[in-house]
């Protein structure tokens, strides 16, 4: 039965990554109901149960939301504390963010009485470049970065290639969630630079967010929201997770049941959650290939993802990527493996 602390929406996203038959068995085992009206789930609800996970959203998620050019979604972005004055200025002025869109958007009715933030926009690319080159501190850099609109990024990239912009200006531009990835790479690829981007809430796409962000439950809540908040970009997260979810969970109903028990307190990433649930369930349940019996002696945990041909985010698991590898030979590996064995044994006793 579904753990009362886990909502159907949180598991609904993962269940959508497996075949309908496996999803139906998992729903029956965990008690997750089937959505009565899938179309309604793709529309912004009247009341969203916000929580700490919403306030902790990476700023990049707001950027994905703006790319939908949906006035209802833009209203939510406008009121989020991470939204900067450039975002709010563009929302009030109906600036489109979606790719290849130029038609002005309708200003959300809820925001019609809000004034646009005051930005001293420069008269052209040359004036903007002059402002950026005059930056000597972080506060100046942040203020200058807000003056860059979607049509200005090419000019900024050209100016930086001609003569590198001041470091503070580069940094302030890099943490703009709509900064083109090529320009961000042009600014720097040092690991320290990458870590600072992560701390600032800048994520290199939904696939990286889905596979490398923790805790898993907050990520699932965001991805469940993504069905109506950023459906255009949500497919990237789904494609990154689908191979691993099908391999580790698939039609193994016991693995899904274990996942619902782990999810509320699990501190790792979604790939770590899926692999852990699959390892704990082991051969206690039914896999996509058929039923397995504990009595058969097949009690070995699955191998490393790359040994099984599993890929995460379009690549095999790389322990040097900056994400923790639960299968690594680090000093904590023995404790992790021992914990899995203890929980797996307890689970098998409970499941009979």
Determine the average pLDDT of the residues in 36-48: 66
The reported pLDDT for the residue numbered 294 is 30
Cβ distance 274 to 216 under 8 Å?
A: no
Determine the average pLDDT of the residues in 16-36: 86
Rounded to an integer, what distance in angstroms lies between the CA atom of residue 347 and that of residue 281? 7
Residue carrying structure tokens 């191998």: 303
Q: What angle do CA 102, 104, 110 make, to 5 degrees?
A: 145
Rounded to an integer, what distance in angstroms lies between the CA atom of residue 104 and that of residue 147? 19
The reported pLDDT for the residue numbered 308 is 36
Instruction: Identify the DSSP state of 312.
Output: B
> Is the pLDDT at 262 greater than 70, yes or no?
yes
Long-range CB pairs of 33-36, under 8 A, 24+ apart, other chains included = 33/8, 35/8
Mean pLDDT of the chain: 80
Model confidence band, residue 325 (pLDDT cutoffs 50, 70, 90): very low
The reported pLDDT for the residue numbered 316 is 39
Determine the average pLDDT of the residues in 149-161: 96
pTM of the model: 0.77
Grouping H, G, I as helix, E, B as strand and the rest as coil, residue 213 is coil
Determine the average pLDDT of the residues in 257-276: 95
The reported pLDDT for the residue numbered 164 is 96
> Is the pLDDT at 130 greater than 70, yes or no?
yes
φ, ψ (nearest 5 deg) of residue 282: 50, -125
Determine the average pLDDT of the residues in 37-60: 74
The reported pLDDT for the residue numbered 85 is 96
**Tokens coding 82:** 């991470």
Rounded to an integer, what distance in angstroms lies between the CA atom of residue 171 and that of residue 77? 23
> Is the pLDDT at 252 greater than 90, yes or no?
yes
Residue 306 exposed, middle or buried by CB count within 10 Å (0-12, 13-18, 19+): middle
The reported pLDDT for the residue numbered 25 is 93
Q: Is the peptide bond before 102 cis (omega within 30 degrees of 0)?
A: no
More confidently predicted of 317 and 166: 166
Model confidence band, residue 348 (pLDDT cutoffs 50, 70, 90): low
């Amino acid at each position: 039965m579904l753990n009362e602390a886990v909502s159907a929406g949180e598991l609904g996203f993962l269940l959508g990554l497996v075949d309908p038959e496996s999803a139906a068995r998992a729903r029956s085992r965990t008690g997750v109901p089937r959505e009565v009206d899938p179309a309604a789930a793709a529309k912004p609800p009247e009341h969203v149960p916000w929580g700490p996970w919403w306030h902790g959203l990476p700023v990049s998620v707001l950027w994905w939301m703006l790319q939908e050019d949906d006035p209802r979604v833009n209203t939510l972005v406008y009121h989020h504390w991470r939204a900067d004055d450039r975002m709010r200025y563009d929302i009030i002025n109906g600036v489109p963010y979606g790719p290849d869109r130029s038609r002005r958007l309708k200003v959300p009715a809820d925001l019609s009485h809000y004034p646009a933030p005051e930005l001293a926009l420069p008269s052209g690319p040359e004036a903007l470049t002059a402002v950026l080159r005059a930056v000597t501190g972080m506060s100046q850099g942040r203020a200058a970065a807000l003056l860059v609109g979607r049509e200005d990024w090419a000019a900024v990239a050209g100016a930086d290639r001609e003569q590198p912009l001041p470091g503070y200006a580069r940094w302030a531009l890099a943490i703009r969630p709509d900064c083109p990835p090529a320009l961000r790479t042009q600014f720097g690829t040092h690991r320290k630079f990458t870590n600072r981007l992560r701390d600032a809430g800048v994520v290199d796409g939904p696939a990286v967010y889905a596979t490398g962000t923790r805790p898993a439950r907050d990520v699932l809540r965001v991805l469940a929201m993504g069905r109506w908040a950023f459906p255009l970009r949500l497919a990237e997260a789904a494609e990154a997770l689908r191979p691993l979810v099908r391999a580790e969970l698939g039609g193994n109903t016991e693995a899904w049941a274990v996942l619902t028990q782990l999810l509320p307190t699990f501190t790792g990433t979604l790939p770590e959650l899926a692999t852990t649930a699959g390892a704990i369930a082991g051969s206690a349940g039914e896999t996509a290939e058929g039923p397995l019996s504990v009595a058969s002696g097949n009690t070995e945990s699955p191998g490393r993802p790359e040994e099984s041909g599993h890929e995460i985010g379009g690549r095999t698991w790389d322990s040097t990527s900056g994400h923790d590898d639960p299968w690594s030979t680090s000093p904590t590996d023995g404790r992790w493996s021992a914990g899995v064995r203890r929980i797996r044994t307890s689970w098998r006793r409970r499941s009979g």
